[in-house]
Chains A and B, each alone.
Chain A
Amino acid sequence: QKEVEQDPGPLSVPEGAIVSLNCTYSNSAFQYFMWYRQYSRKGPELLMYTYSSGNKEDGRFTAQVDKSSKYISLFIRDSQPSDSATYLCAMKTGANNLFFGTGTRLTVIP
């Protein structure tokens, strides 16, 4: 079993839709949870970072962590064509390295 599982999609939504991206994990020691966005032919860039359980909002993006269910989510409101990218969840324990999901490819159709 992989430590981090993510549905690879692809996911296509119309412009303005609410997008929900999810990951599950098996290691209960993970404390730091991140979402990275990767545009085609580019390196991943940090989008959202959350410590432990709870919600974090940044503009149109909301990250949720439910440690009891080992489940994290990223919501994108009012999705835009410029949001079309691959979204990777990532997580880690204290000083160890990041474990990534395989990424979900999102396309927002104008």
Chain B
Amino acid sequence: DSGVTQTPKHLITATGQRVTLRCSPRSGDLSVYWYQQSLDQGLQFLIQYYNGEERAKGNILERFSAQQFPDLHSELNLSSLELGDSALYFCASSVFAGGGQGAGGYTFGSGTRLTVV
């Protein structure tokens, strides 16, 4: 157990629907990162929050949004879902905004597998 908790583990939904993925960071970590992993694209950075504030944005679609709550858990909202949104969604956390320990301190959760049918 990495200490980063993601729910649900699996999600199957229809096109056009909206889903919410949840992440609880490792205890003491202030930064949360969301990544999308598909077979042909690898791990793509979506968005980062640090202590409740958006810190950086990557290749996140306008249909997607996220937030980090005062208790530091984060939610990723995916709306108007398309077949191409089917992927593994990972959350990672770190102590500092830049990753901690100089660089490498990202801890990943086990992911949410989203299937859009």
Interface size on B, residues (CB 8 A): 28
A42 to B110, CA, bound (A): 5
Q: Which chain B residues have a beta carbon within 8 Å of chain A's beta carbons?
A: 2, 4, 33, 35, 40-43, 45, 48, 56, 58, 90, 92, 97-99, 101-111
Q: Does A95 contact B (CB under 8 A)?
A: yes
Q: How many A-B residue contacts, CB cutoff 8 Å?
A: 67
Q: Does A70 contact B (CB under 8 A)?
A: no
Q: Nearest 4 pairs between A and B by C-beta? A: A32-B103, A43-B108, A102-B42, A95-B98
List, in ascending order, chain B residues with CB within 8 A of A36's CB. 108
CB-based contact A88/B43 at 8 Å: yes
CB-based contact A98/B102 at 8 Å: no
What distance in Å separates the Cβ of A109 from its nearest Cβ neighbour in chain B? 23
Q: Which of B2, B4, B41 contacts A102 (CB 8 A)?
A: B41
Chain A interface size band reads 20 to 34
Q: Which of A32, A43, A98, A101 has the most CB of B within 10 A?
A: A43
Assess A44 versus B98: contact at CB under 8 Å? Given A32-B103, A97-B48, A102-B41. no
List, in ascending order, chain A residues with CB within 8 A of B110's CB. 41-43
In the assembled complex, 18 residue pairs joining A and B whose CB atoms fall closer than 8 Å, in A order, are: A6-B42, A43-B92, A43-B110, A43-B111, A44-B90, A46-B104, A46-B106, A49-B101, A49-B103, A96-B56, A97-B56, A97-B58, A98-B106, A100-B35, A100-B42, A100-B43, A102-B41, A102-B42
